[in-house]
Every structure is written in C-alpha cells, then in structure tokens.
Amino acid sequence: MVKNFFSRFYIGIILLFLYAPIIILIVLSFNQSKSRAKWGGFTLKWYGELFQNDDIMRALYTTLILAFVSALIATIIGTAGAFAINSMKKTPRFIMMGVTNIPMLNADIVTGISLMLLFVALRFSLGFTSVLLAHITFNIPYVLLSVMPKLKQLNPNTFEAAQDLGASPIYAFFKVILPDILPGIISGYFLAFTMSLDDFVITYFTKGPEINTLSTKIYTEVRKGIKPEIYALSTIMFVAILILLILVNRKNADKHVPIRK
C-alpha cells in the first residue's frame, strides 16, 4: 500500500516536471499582458493576431513545408537504401551502417557546421534549399533504421511463392513485400517529420539570413522577448498533435492484441 502510494507519487512528480513548462506556455498564450512576468487578465486576442502576423505565419509555413518535403525525400532515399543494404554482404553492410550512424551520434552542432562549410565552399547560397538538403541528410538515417528491422523480418519465401504463382516481380513487390514493410516506412516518415519540425541547431547554421523556421525565429526573439502570438501558435500545435495522437492511439488500441501478458 505504502509502496503503491510512493509509486504514484513518483510518477506524478515526474509528470509535473515534464508538463509544468507546457502549462506555463498555455497560460501565457491567454495572458493579456505582453510581458512574461505578470498576469494581465484573460484574453484571446493573441490567437486572433497570430494570423495577422506575417513573420510568424511565414516561419510556420517554412517549417511545415521543410518537414513535409525533407521527410518525403528522406523516406524515398532511405527506403531504397534499406533494401540495398539489406541485400549486401556483411562487410559493405557494416560500413554502410557505420556511415548511417554518424549523423545520429555526432553532435548536432558539428553536423550543422560541417554542412555550412560544405555549402559555402561550393558557393551554394544559404537559404531554403540548403536547409532542405541538411534536413534530408539528418532524416535519412531515421527512415533507414525504421525500415531495416521490417525488411529483416520479411519471409523471402512469400515473394518467391508469389512469383511461382505467376506474379511478375513488380506486382509481387507491391502485393507481398510493400504491405509488410509499410508500417516501418510510415513510422520512419513520421519520425523524420518530427525531427525536422523540432530541429534548431542544424537549421541555425545552414539557413542564411533570409529565412526562418519557428525554432530559429524563437531563438532570435529570446533576448528581446517572445511575442505572445508564438505562445498561441505553439498551444494550437500542441493541442492539434494531442488530438491527432489520441485518435491514432484509439484506433491502434482497438486493433492490437495487448502486447504484454
């Protein structure tokens, strides 16, 4: 009983720790006062002004397009790469996986700086394209590492059986292999999307002065004070993700047999 109480208390404390800043941000989005320090009464005006603020809307647009496109390209290259690596012999596979792990283990600041040096050396102007290339680069490993385990689980006999039964290799691929690895591809895409959405350091070094994502915009505003519209925007995004994830979870919970005994 005591142990049970302690367990609950401990979980509660950790959750409070994890969610306290989020509660603060949501409260700030309804704060009449422009200053973070004091409460000026309840208001919804920041939610209205948010959509009139071109700077923030442009940063939001850049962030979303960047995440969408970089995750898409990374998914295509990463999935193709996963197929190829999976059919390789041991040594080349080992080397390929080693290179794949570099951006995941290396410090973000080093990855960001190294890419910036490359773009500058190639006289490639820093802007949307350079950030996009950088995002694809750090996204590919996430896709590859989500697709690989699914490929390993594949039973090669089913593919052969399909062909023995008269399916062309392409048809067999779409009917037999793709459905099996699709969950890996989808989770790879969402992982890549999230990483791109949340990245600050690599974007900061590769972006150039013309464009801003939400992260870099927030960072430049830290010193002069964050605009309350940003709190409103992040509250909207948080609630949207929350609803989306609850819906997905519900659906999965219905479908899946409990994992644990």
Partner 1 sequence: MNDTKPKLNPSSDSGLMLPHTNRIKLLSFPYIIWMAGFIIIPLVMILFYGLTNKENSFTLENLAAIAEPINLQALGLALLLSIISTVICLILSYPLSIILNNIKLKSNSLIIFIIILPMWMNFLLRTIAWQNILEKSGTLNTLLTFLHLPTINIINTPAAIILGMVYNYLPFMILPIYNVLIKIDQDVINAARDLGANTLQTFTKIIFPLSLPGVISGITMVFVPSLTTFAISSILGGSKILLMGNVIEQQFTLGNWHAGSGLSLVLMIFVLLCMAILSKYDKEAEGSNIW
Residue choice 52, 54, 87, 209 for contact with partner 1 (CB under 8 A) = 87
Rounded Cα distance between 199 and 185, Å, is 21
Q: Using the rule CB under 8 A, is 114 a contact of partner 1?
A: yes
In the complex, least distance from residue 225 CB atom to partner 1, rounded to whole angstroms: 10
Q: Which residues pair with 42 in a beta bridge?
A: 31
Residue choice 16, 65, 102, 178 for contact with partner 1 (CB under 8 A) = 102
| Other Cβ atoms within 10 Å of 162 Cβ, number | 18
Residues 144-183, mask of contacts with partner 1 (x by CB under 8 A): x------xxxx-x--xx--xx----x--------------
* Closest residue by Cα to residue 181 from 160, 156, 217, 161: 156
In the complex, least distance from residue 52 CB atom to partner 1, rounded to whole angstroms: 21
**Encoded tokens for 37:** 């320090």
C-beta closer to partner 1: residue 52 or 170: 170
* Exposed/middle/buried for residue 16 (C-beta within 10 Å: 0-12, 13-18, 19+): exposed
Do residues 162 and 176 lie in contact, with contact meaning Cβ atoms separated by under 8 Å? yes
Residues 6-25, mask of contacts with partner 1 (x by CB under 8 A): -x--xx--xx-xxxxxx-xx
| Number of residues binding to partner 1, judged by CB under 8 A | 91
Angle, CA of 31, 34 and 37, to the nearest 5°: 75
In the complex, least distance from residue 48 CB atom to partner 1, rounded to whole angstroms: 20
Residues 42-81 close enough to bind partner 1 by CB under 8 A: 77-78, 80-81
